[in-house]
């Protein structure tokens, strides 16, 4: 699914938790709001997006990954430049992005931070 803005297409990244009753259970973020990706520990990453609402300043998504951090970064960069919707990590449905040398996996945390 591509998001149309006139003649422009913007990539969207989708993340979902498997947490019943949680406040922030899923989020879809446009590429233009991406702020960065950092290593949390040896097998976890955190992606940060500028929040779409005024209630929060940022959205942070944490999840596990396998393989090389550089390859995980390349996969996210590819998704950000794809002009399509990419499911990066959908814990609720067991769908995770695979990339050369690894994949995202495990518990997904979608959190709005002020």
pLDDT level of residue 112 (50, 70, 90 thresholds) = confident
In angstroms, the CA 53 to CA 59 distance is: 10
For residues 107-111, give the mean pLDDT. 92
Domain spans of the chain? 7-113
- Write out pLDDT tens, residues 63-74: 999 999 999 999
Please compute the mean of the pLDDT values over residues 28-39 and round it to a whole number.
95
pLDDT in tens, 92-104: 899 999 999 999 9
Q: What is the pTM of this model?
A: 0.86
> At residue 20, does pLDDT exceed 90?
no
> Hey, what are 25's tokens?
């259970």
3 state DSSP class of 6: coil
Of 24, 37, 10, nearest to 113 by C-alpha is 24
The predicted structure's pLDDT at residue 24: 56
């Amino acid at each position: 699914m591509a998001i149309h803005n006139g003649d422009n297409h913007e990539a969207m990244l989708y993340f979902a938790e498997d947490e019943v009753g949680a406040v922030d259970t899923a989020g879809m973020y446009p590429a233009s709001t991406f702020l960065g990706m950092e290593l949390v520990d040896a097998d976890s990453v955190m992606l940060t997006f500028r929040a779409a609402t005024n209630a929060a300043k940022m959205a942070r998504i944490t999840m596990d990954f396998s393989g090389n951090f550089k390859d995980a970064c390349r996969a996210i960069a590819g998704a950000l430049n794809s002009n399509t919707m990419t499911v990066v990590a959908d814990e609720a449905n067991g769908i995770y992005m695979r990339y050369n040398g690894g994949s995202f996996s495990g518990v997904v945390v979608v959190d709005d931070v002020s």
